[in-house]
Structure 1
């Protein structure tokens, strides 16, 4: 275990995409745009702003084009789009997405449920996308869903994950995300696998994506950071979950993560008071409470008057 927390932790905010994709109440396009614009002012260098999937599959995000065309882009912020296939890549490039995020599962069963195809077919489709974006400034990132466990198959062999990492790299995909889709990871497992992956992938190209399904999300962040990872997905308010993964609760909460970093001395460059303001506005936007803890409890520096 390290005690040197001097290197910056990069937070990629995913609430506009991963956070909103399973919301049962429609969030108006203008409200999505306003949320992204506010997040762009909070110090994030990366925001997953939407997706270009079939509206039948994810109706909550059917306005991807309008969102990407409507946001006010801030210098230095990378706006990421999730895409399922070549058609999605074409739509995303037409809307000037800065980076495309592709997804395949380490689990064959989950990939069939999520993408309706076998893993080898997903890899073939990724090759078409790589060829399509070649020569453009658009960067590609590929996620490995169910990296740390599958709700259908259970444990995932680490060598299987490493094989997929190498397959992505052979295609020419530089960015890699290890996704704990249903919150099955534990810190020892995370530290071990991250160290192995970092023998093949630069810390600047590796993202960790944790869910807090079993309460270990922030523990896993620290384990991954101590193993050398420096970039993490998180969602405002702890929103999100996978519609094709039973029991998947929200992503790790952005403001809770930034607060943890502040408390232990890891720099993020994120405006925590602004995050709290935005998080506290989510119940009115969505019509329900959100899982994040800090917005409810307040920061340690928020002192209270002594009872009379």
Structure 2
């Protein structure tokens, strides 16, 4: 299968951790309910393709995310691949109870940089959501779990418009102060551009939250995800969220299209000489397999470009 020519650029990391969100953030936005057997095979295929961090599911109430109502069944039946991490999203204490009962060792919480999205997504203000998260994070850390904090609407909000960098930094510092090991900066509606990315990471670094504590989570609504990723790498970030085949969006922000496709990310990273541990042909075959089960073409440019080779 065709692969990119490796031409490194100065000032970039030697390796990058890809945080695969397809099984959670991707499938939660499908209109159809994907059977648990298909989800389990998806997780196994992603692990076999070399992805070391795969966000498996969410313990959000099934009333809000019915596509992931099978979380307990999924994790009960999951046979973890050696060396692979399977974090799950938890919204509250009840979600943490379920995660701990199933032996989960890594969780994520999901906050907002803007008041409107916090109210629409969590039915709470930003302050109220942080108050809700505080005991969750404290208990998780006490139990020895890793905790990631997602921060959405970092680069723009469909209701509030431009989001000041100072506002993002303020909420980010509070999330880190709760005890989050890592903070993922979300461009939830895909409006960000590289200058914004550079400026935000610089401001966070100046505020004591350096790139070693950060990840980035870009949507490709306006075609900026890869450019924004490169800006983040140049600023020192070494963890990038992406979704196999470009699955996913945001159920609470209707203008948001799919996440950055993992295949597109891997193509760029490998072309830059950056190690990922990912077998791109195997990943392409996995996304083609999932697209068939969803009954539609993958939105990933790399998957579409390599589809003929992958199936020949």
| TM-score category (smaller protein) | over 0.9
Distance 2:270 2:178 in 1: 38
> Which range moved further: 244-253 or 130-139?
130-139
Other-structure match for 1:60:
67
Q: 1:181 aligns with which of 188, 198, 207?
A: 188
> TM-score, with normalisation over the residues of structure 1?
0.93
Deviation at 1:202, TM superposition (A): 4.3
Other-structure match for 1:30:
37
Contact 2:141 2:179 (C-alpha < 8 Å) held by counterparts? no
Distance 2:204 2:49 in 1: 30
> TM-score, with normalisation over the residues of structure 2?
0.92
Q: Deviations over 1:15-37 (max 9, x none)?
A: 00000001011110011011101
Deviating beyond 6 angstroms after TM superposition, the runs of 4 or more aligned structure 1 residues are none
Other-structure match for 2:256:
248
Within-5 A mapping of 1:91-240 = 91-199=98-206, 200-240=208-248
Contact 2:190 2:218 (C-alpha < 8 Å) held by counterparts? yes
Distance 2:227 2:270 in 1: 15
Other-structure match for 1:258:
266
Other-structure match for 2:25:
18
Secondary structure at the residue paired with 1:20?
A: helix
- Give the paired residue count: 299
Is 1:8 aligned to 2:11, yes or no?
Answer: no
Is 1:277 aligned to 2:285, yes or no?
Answer: yes
Deviation at 1:94, TM superposition (A): 1.4
Inter-CA distance 134–265: structure 2 relative to 1 (3 Å threshold): closer
5+ residue gaps, structure 2? 1-8
Distance 1:134 1:219 in 2: 35
Contact 1:198 1:228 (C-alpha < 8 Å) held by counterparts? no
Deviation at 1:96, TM superposition (A): 1.8
Distance 1:188 1:122 in 2: 29
Q: Deviations over 1:223-250 (max 9, x none)?
A: 1001111101100110101100121100
Other-structure match for 1:72:
79
Distance 2:213 2:44 in 1: 25
Secondary structure at the residue paired with 2:142?
A: coil
Distance 2:89 2:179 in 1: 18
Distance 1:98 1:83 in 2: 12
5+ residue gaps, structure 1? 303-308
Distance 2:179 2:48 in 1: 32
Distance 2:168 2:205 in 1: 12
